[in-house]
Amino acid sequence: MANKPNFNGHRKQIRAAALLLADLAAMFWAWVLAVAVASGVGRAQFSEWFPLSTLGGVVYTLMTLLVVVSLAVGGQYTRRSAFWEETRVAWRLIVMVALVNFALNFFVQLSNTRTVPVLAWAFVLLMLPLGRLLAREWLIRSGYWVRQALMVGAGDNARQACEAVRRERHMGLRVAGLVDMEAGTGASEAGLQPDAMPVHRMDGDLEAMARRLDCEAIVVALDDHMQRQAGPIVGLLHGAQLEIFVVPALQGLPVQGMQAQHFFSNDVLFLRLQHKLFSRSSRWMKRSIDVLVSGALLLLLSPLMAWVVWRIWREDGAPVIYTQPRVGGDGKDFEFIKFRSMVKDADAILESWKTSQPELYRRYEASNFKLPDDPRVLGVGRWIRRASVDELPQLWNVLRGDMSLVGPRPLLRRELSEYLPDAMALYLQVKPGMTGLWQVSGRSSTTFAQRSMLDSWYARNWSLWVDWVILLKTVRVVLTARGAM
């Protein structure tokens, strides 16, 4: 291998140029598409498709350049970030610039129609993240994006860091191995053996080890009792042409929206936490969105719901709605409603399994109270479950205030004993949701313990942006039926 890891300016320039061109292309085609749509409804002339052909288009072009420059100054073309965090920052900037554009268009007649800029910026919100995904996919396939990383640490913090990096494919980090800083700790003790992740002993020079493993980045992810070693480790890497990440052990803290404050001439970092879910204004906004969206969806989806009612009634008669007491916010029970997807005596059959088919019942409990081949499910029930249509009556629960659009999955009273104690306290402080982090993270393919951890993460880290991301992911999960039973 060469004397230095392959982390040169040439590759960085190609990465930055690809992302920059993707953003410019997205904003150009957003304008073209906006003109095409507006001309189709008689609100614009298609001859305006080229942005510089009208005064309104010129202003839009200047605004897009402002967006690109601001994103560049913010490091979005050079730094690597998680996709949804990067998108949040970009969208916030786009919305602010778009509002300036709308204000100019309102006070000064920039073109014959105000429709095109509104449509164009709406399309930018959709097309810019998509363009970046495509650009990164090309960079990954071309070998310009993915970098090998050496993980310093072999404990729980390192394991969680590995999992986070693995899930964020487009961040472009691939862990080549871990460095065990404790002489007596083996990979099996660290809990990493099942992932077949190579674990190396600390044998001196970390930079030399990184060169040997063809790594361009080092991630320091030590557990709590070893945090004091992070400073000396990073100090040894000064001058090395390696990108260095430090992952503090923050398990159980609300990391979403965490703000860092450093102090001049002191090695002290304050992390300001945010519990937005417990803010009165945040709760009011979340409830307002629940009422507006659930009411609109009930009206919009009423024909589909009527058809499902007819199909269930034709196959197995009444009742077509299944109700069950679930534990809601503050530990109070409410009537959870959904379309009946099983035979009428499904609960009695389940109870009989305890004695007649104990192995089947144990499998039911072990698989998060779900069975992929549950014999109690109706023919139409399999379809409405796979497409999540059986959940639509819960829109009424949301409208009533029993549930929210997004939140933890509502628990049965008997499931409380299976819930992790720390997660239980958080669960009881929020309303359960129609969809949530568990549903978009594997649903029936996850364990009950994983479900409780996901629910507690949501409660700690809630924000309107988190809800929005979960709703977008829900659309993908429903369309692909991923994790459904």
127-140 burial, b if ≥16 CB within 10 A, otherwise e?
A: bbbebbeebbeebe
Q: What is the pTM of this model?
A: 0.81
Q: What is the CA radius of gyration of the chain?
A: 26
- What pLDDT, on a 0 to 100 scale, did the predictor assign at position 193? 42
DSSP for residue 325: E
pLDDT 10s digit of each residue in the chain, 485 long? 444 444 456 888 899 999 999 999 999 999 989 988 888 765 556 666 676 777 878 889 999 999 999 999 999 998 888 899 999 999 999 999 999 988 888 777 666 667 888 999 999 999 999 999 999 999 999 888 888 899 998 888 998 899 889 888 888 889 988 988 875 444 433 444 445 678 888 777 888 888 888 888 899 999 888 888 888 888 888 777 888 899 988 888 888 888 888 888 888 888 888 877 778 888 899 999 999 999 999 999 999 999 999 999 998 888 999 999 999 888 889 999 999 988 888 778 887 887 787 877 777 776 666 777 777 888 888 888 888 899 999 999 999 999 999 999 898 888 887 777 777 778 888 899 999 998 888 766 677 778 888 888 998 888 899 999 999 999 888 887 665 55
Token code pair at residue 183: 């002489």
Alpha carbon distance 343, 240 (integer Å)? 66
- Give the Cα separation of 387 and 393 in Å (integer): 14
Residue 109: the pLDDT is 67
Distance separating the N- and C-terminal Cα atoms of the chain: 50
330: CB partners within 8 A, 6+ apart: 428, 429
pLDDT (0 to 100) of residue 467: 94
Which are the contacts of 297, defined by CB distance < 8 A and separation ≥ 6?
395
Contacts of 156 (CB under 8 A, 6+ apart): 190, 191, 223, 249, 251
- DSSP letters, 8-51, are -HHHHHHHHHHHHHHHHHHHHHHHHHHHHHHHHTTSS-GGGGSG
Helix/strand/coil percentages in the chain, nearest 5: 60, 10, 30
pLDDT in tens, 320-370: 999 999 998 888 899 999 999 888 887 788 878 877 878 777 777 766 667
Contact 16, 23 (CB under 8 A): no
CA distance 76 to 308: 46
Please, are residues 273 and 258 in contact by the beta-carbon 8 Å criterion?
A: yes
- Specify which residues 147 forms β-bridges with: 173
Given the structure tokens 């040169």, which residue do they identify?
8
DSSP 131: H
Q: How far apart are CA 190 and CA 67, in angstroms?
A: 45
Here the tokens at position 99 are 């509002």
Task: Round to whole Å and give the CA distance between 352 and 360.
Answer: 11
User: Quick check: 179 and 151 in contact, CB under 8 A?
Assistant: yes
174-194 per-position pLDDT tens digit: 998 898 887 544 443 344 444
**Residues in contact with 54: Cβ distance below 8 Å, sequence separation at least 6, in sequence order:** 48, 110, 111
Cis peptide before 319 (omega within 30 of 0): yes
Specify the pLDDT at position 479.
80
Q: How many CB atoms lie within 10 A of CB 42?
A: 9
Ordered domains of the chain (ranges, CATH):
9-142 (no CATH), 147-251 (3.40.50.720), 280-480 (no CATH)
Q: Hey, what long-range contacts does 181-184 have (CB within 8 A, 24 or more apart)? A: 181/152, 181/153, 181/154, 181/222, 181/226, 181/229, 182/154, 182/226
Please provide residue 342's backbone torsions phi and psi, each rounded to the nearest 5 degrees: -120, 170
Cα-Cα-Cα-Cα dihedral of 326, 332, 335, 339, to 10°? Answer: -40
Cα separation, 458 vs 426, in Å, equals: 9
